[in-house]
Amino acid sequence: MNIQTLLADEFNLTPGQAAAVTALIDDGDTIPFIARYRKEATGGVDDATLREFYERLLSLRSLEARKDEVRRLIGEQLTPELRAEIDQAQVLQRVEDLYKPYRKKRTTRATRARAAGLEPLALTALEQQLTEGDPRKIAEPYINAEQGYPDAEAALAGAGDIIAGLIADDAEYTALLRDFTRRGGSIVSTAVTAEKTAYETYRDFSEPIGKIPNHRVLALNRGEKEGQLRVKVRIDADQAVALLERRVIRRRSIFTPLLQTALTDAYKRLIAPALEREMRNELTERAEAAAIRVFARNAENLLAQPPVRGVRVLALDPGYRTGCKVAVLDEQGKALAYTTVYPTPPRSDLAGTERVLRDYTARYRVNMIVIGNGTGSRETEAAVAGFIEKYALPLRYAIVSEAGASVYSASQLAREEHPDLDVTIRGAVSLGRRLQDPLAELVKIPPRSIGVGQYQHDINQAALERALTGVVENVVNRVGVDLNTASASLLGYVAGLGGAPARNIIAFREENGPFRRREQLKKVPRLGEKTFRQCAGFLRISGGTNPLDGTAVHPESYALAAELLRRAGVSAAELARGGAADIGRRLGDLPALAAELQVGLPTLRDIAAELEKPGRDPRGDAPPVVGNRSVRTCADLRVGMELSGTVRNVVDFGAFVDIGLKQDGLVHVSRLAERFVRHPAEVVAVGDIVTVWVIAIDPVGGKVSLTMAPDK
C-alpha cells in the first residue's frame, strides 16, 4: 500500500502535493504555519483539510506498523500469497481478519478437539469426497475416551467443533458475513422497565444498520449505559447460515449433515456475536466521528464570532437564591467594580437592582449590559429591559452563553488572573469579556466545555480534545495574537508555542516591558529558531519599531514585502497608519511580478493583501443582538408568531435558537429551509441571527418547536 497515493486520492491532491505536505509535517512544521506560509508547496490546502490529512497520515502509518507486527508474529507460516494480502489491506479490520487463524488462542472446543487428534477427521469431512458410507465408521479410529471423545458420535462432534473454528477464522467468510450484516441487519432496542423514561422513543425500536442516523446511535448507547435500554443487532440467522452453506458445501457427501451443523454453530456461537460487537463499535465510531465534526464546526463558528470593540460592560451572572453577580469592565476587560443584586425570586428586589444599575452605568460610563443565559436569565433580562425603558437610557444589552464559565471561574488560571475576586464574580467578569472578545476569553476553558455539540460527554474524550484543540489553534492563528496583550492561554494556541514557551513570553514581557520587534522573541528562554519560524507570523506588535511586525507578513518575507512597498511607493509611516488600499493597483500584474521576483504567486498575493490592510481582524466587528423583550415564558408565545433569535447550537437533527425563553427552541432539520437539507450546517451556524416562526408549544415541558420555512 502506497500511503502517498492513497492520501492524494482521498484528499483530491496531486502526488506532489501529498508528498510535500507529508514532508512538511515530518519536518515538524505546524498545521497553521503550513496553511499560511507554505501555500506554494501545498497548492493552497486550507488548515482544516491539512488537519484531516495529518490525522489520516497517522492512521495509515499506524496501519502499516500493525502490518509489520502481524507479519512478524505469523513468522515462518507467512506465505507469499498471505504477505501480498496483508500488504494490500487498506483497513485494520482486514489485517486482523487475515491474522486471526494464526493468533495464539485460549483453550476452546476446537483446540481441545485438535489436541485429541481429531483434525484429520475434520479435514476429511471438509473435502466432501465420500458420497457413500456411514460417517461413524470413518470416525471410529479417532475415538479418544481419555480426552473426552468416547464414541464415534463424540468424535464427529469434536470434528464439527474444529470445522466451526476454521470457518470462523476464515477471513473471506468473515468478510462475506460482515457485509451481509451491514446490508441486512437492524439495530433494535427494548425498554428495561415498564416505567416511562427519557428514552420512550426507543422503547420498541428498530432501524436498519445502514440507515440509522448518528445521533440515534449515540442516544441508544446512552440509554444502554444508563440501564434503561437493551440494544442488539438483529439479523436473519437462517439466511446467514444458508449463505455460508452455499460457499462451503460444494457437493452432497456423507458429511453434509455434519457440515450443516458445524456451519450453524460457527455462525451462531462464534461469528454472529463477534460481528454484533463489530457493528456496534463501527456505528459508535462513525457516530462519534460525526459528533466530533459537529462539535468542532460549532466551536469554530463560536470562537470566530466578531468581538464587540470599545464597549464598557456591565456583566450580570444571574441566579436565584444567591442573587445576580455584577461586574463592570472597561474597554480592555479590566474589572472596575463588582457587587450582587437580587432581581429574581425569592427576593425580587427590582428597586435595589435599579439603584445599582443606575449608579454603575453612570459612574463607569457603561454602554453595554451583558446577561448570562443560565438560571434566572429571563427574569434578569426582564429587569434590565425594564430599567433601560424606564429611564430611556442609550444602553444595549445582549445574552451570552454561560457554557464553561463555572469551569473557568474555579480554575487555577482564573485565580491567577483575579486573585482578589470571589469565584462567582470571576464568572461575571468572564461573561462580560466573552462579548468584548469571544476568542480571547473562550480559549481559557477546555474546548469540550464550550457547550455547542451533542452527546459530547458520551464520546471518545481524547479524540474530541484533539479535534477541538485543532479548531482553537486554527481560529487563533487565523485571527492573529497581539504579542503585548495576549494571555498565556491565548499564546499557548499559537503555532509552535504551547504552554511553557507561552508562559516564558509572559515572564519576559513582565521583566523587560512590551516587545518592540518580533526579533526579541529569540531572546525568550526555550524559544529557538525553529519555534520562532513557526510562531512569528501569527504574533502582532502594534506600534513597534517595524510596521511589518504588526502584520501577518512572516519575517522570512520582510525583504519581499519591503520591495513591494518600494515599488508601490508606500512608506513605512503610511503602512503604520493603516496601509494603502490601492496597493494592488499600484503593483499591477501580480503573476508577472511574481515571475520577475522569482517568488510564489500565493505568497505574493497574501503579502499584497496584508499590506493593504495591515493587521486586520478577519472576524470583523458586529453589534450584539437584543433579545425578544416581548417573550419571557411560553405563555407569551402563540402559534404562527414571528421572532428573531440567535442560533446557540447546531446538531444533526436541527438547530437550537434562543428566542428569549429559558430553554432554546428547536428548528428541526426538515424545517430549516423550503428545500431538502441533508445537514443543518448547510443552512445555519452557531451565532447566526435568524427569523423563525412558532409551530408548536409545550408549556409543561417548556419546549418550543420552530420553523424557518413557514410555507413548508
In 3D space, the residue among 644, 674, 675, 639 whose CA is nearest the CA of residue 659 turns out to be 644
Dihedrals phi, psi of 455, to nearest 5 degrees: 55, 35
The reply to whether 129 and 170 lie within a common domain is: yes
Tell me the CA distances in angstroms from 83 to 79, 98, 306, one per residue in order.
Answer: 6, 10, 56
* Dist CA 693 CA 103 (whole Å): 61
Residue 445 has pLDDT above 90, yes or no: no
Q: What is the CATH number of the domain that holds 365?
A: 3.30.420.140
Residue 629 has pLDDT above 70, yes or no: no
In a domain, 75, yes or no: yes
Inside any domain, residue 153 = yes
Q: Which residue has the higher pLDDT, 433 or 701?
A: 433
Inter-residue contact 580 to 570 (CB < 8 Å) = yes
Q: What is the pLDDT of residue 416?
A: 86
Position 396 confidence tier, pLDDT thresholds 50, 70, 90: confident
pTM confidence score? 0.82
Domain boundary among 436, 460, 476: 436
Average pLDDT value for the chain: 91
Structural domain range at position 530: 499-612
pLDDT of residue 452: 76
> Does 257 lie in the same domain as 146?
yes
Pair 318, 410 in one domain:
yes
**447-468 per-position pLDDT tens digit:** 778 777 777 778 888 888 888 8
640 part of a folded domain: yes
Q: What's the pLDDT at 465?
A: 86
Per-residue pLDDT of 548-597, as tens digits, reads: 999 999 999 999 999 999 988 888 788 877 767 778 788 888 999 999 99
In 470-555, where do the E strands start and end? 481-482, 539-540
400 is a domain residue: yes
Q: Is the pLDDT of residue 712 over 70?
A: no
Together in a domain, 137 and 266:
yes
Task: Tell me what percent of the residues of the chain surpass a pLDDT of 70.
Answer: 98
Query: Do 356 and 225 belong to one domain?
Result: no
Q: What is the pLDDT of residues 515-530, one digit of tens each?
A: 999 999 999 998 999 9
pLDDT in tens, 153-211: 999 999 999 999 999 999 999 999 999 999 999 999 999 999 999 899 999 999 999 99
Q: Tell me if 270 is assigned to some domain.
A: yes
- We report the CATH number of the domain holding residue 59 as 1.10.10.650
How high is the pLDDT of residue 418?
87
Same domain, 76 and 181: no
Look at residue 486 and tell me if it is in a domain: no
| Contact predicate 656/646, CB 8 Å | no
pLDDT at 621 over 70: no
**DSSP-derived 3-state class of residue 606:** helix
Domains in the chain: how many in total?
5
CATH code, 545: 1.10.150.310
pLDDT grade, residue 613 (50/70/90)? confident
Gap between the Cα atoms of 108 and 158, Å rounded? 11
- Count CA within 13 A, CB hemisphere, residue 2: 7
Residue 618 lies in a domain: no
Same domain as 141, residue 120: yes
The phi, psi pair for 12, rounded to 5°, reads 55, 45
- The number of CA neighbours under 13 Å toward the Cβ of 611 is 31
DSSP state string for 311-333: --EEEEE--STT-EEEEEE-TT-
